[in-house]
Amino acid sequence: MNSKAILKEFGFNVTEEPQSIYPFSPVYKLQNYIIKKTQYPLERAWNLVRYTTYLKENGISIVTPVNLHASNPKQIDDACYICYPFINGSNYQGTEKEIKQAGELLGRIHALSSSKNIFDLSEYDVFDFYHHEVDDHMKKISIFAGSYQVNMSIQKLKDLLHTAVENQEKVKNTSLNWVETPYDYKANNLVFQSSPVLIDPDNAKWIPRTFDLALALLLFHNEFSSAPNRTFTPKEWKLFLDGYSKHQTLTNTEIKAWEETVLHVFLDEVMWLMAEVEEDWERKEQRDLFVSVTETLFHIKDYPV
């Protein structure tokens, strides 16, 4: 279904075909509204709404669906869409205050999690990587690095990712604390007013909380022009954790498993990003981030929890 028809389903009639404001997924801005894809099927979309409504009712600054005459969210063909209010504010600039506020917001969200996934969010279950997948992805990454003259330790990264494959069953069976969380917690999903507002909760999952932290460490600055073209510095990571730790205390098991956790999240979330999207390699700022995220992995002892 074309974008005009999608908007019409929500009661908005437009004469011209709207363009997505986000290059990787359909996200349409119309007046003071955002219409975007959300979780599928519709049952999962409503589970997400129940979860985000619960967070908002408990003081979390987060978008929830607007009240429309039409159903919101709704299933359209083989996808689900949702209409949110457009949130005014400032983009993340990477200041120390913003970093600490972002960490604190994530800590508050995790603190509100149930112990039994009462919102029935989809459960993280990606522990089925194979060595040939690493070889295939690293071949592509090596080609891109060579083509764009990027100085990156390809063999060292490849060896680490093979280690991650070998460790995934161990990580799966480690007694980590699981939480309901929006996941995908990154700078481009926050708008800053007096404090940050989470504007994209649609990847919400039931997942180990340290996986959420690891993703923030690795990709918080990904694909966002106002953010630095790198991961957090060790000092910035400490600021993020200082905010987070106001509301959460990690267990000894989580702390001991941290390096293996970060490696697994890299295997799951970063490897494919570096291997499958050549358009990213065409932009210097994203190439710089790819170098930075691999160096962060190589120096993970500088980023403890």
Mind listing the pLDDT tens digit for each residue in 142-177? 999 999 999 999 999 999 999 999 999 999 999 999
**Domain identity same for 79 and 135:** no
**Domain identity same for 73 and 162:** no
**Domain identity same for 59 and 201:** no
**pTM given for the model:** 0.96
Q: In this predicted model, what pLDDT tens digit does every residue of 282-300 receive, in sequence order?
A: 999 999 999 999 999 999 9
pLDDT at 186 over 80: yes
Total domains present in the chain: 2
35 backbone dihedrals φ, ψ, rounded to 5°: -120, 125
Q: pLDDT tier at 271 (50, 70, 90 boundaries)?
A: very high
User: Is residue 91 domain-resident?
Assistant: no
pLDDT (mean) for 78-107: 97
pLDDT at 16 over 90: no
Q: What is the Cα–Cα distance from 225 to 216, expressed in whole angstroms?
A: 17
CATH number where 253 lies:
3.90.1200.10
pLDDT (mean) for 92-108: 98
pLDDT (mean) for 205-229: 97
User: Is residue 90 domain-resident?
Assistant: no
pLDDT at 1 over 70: no
CATH number where 21 lies:
3.30.200
Q: In this predicted model, what pLDDT tens digit does every residue of 129-146 receive, in sequence order?
A: 999 999 999 999 999 999
**Domain identity same for 65 and 169:** no
Q: pLDDT tier at 18 (50, 70, 90 boundaries)?
A: confident
User: Is residue 107 domain-resident?
Assistant: yes
Which residue, of 85, 104, 132, is where some domain finishes? Answer: 85
Q: What's the domain range around 257?
A: 96-302
**Domain identity same for 41 and 100:** no
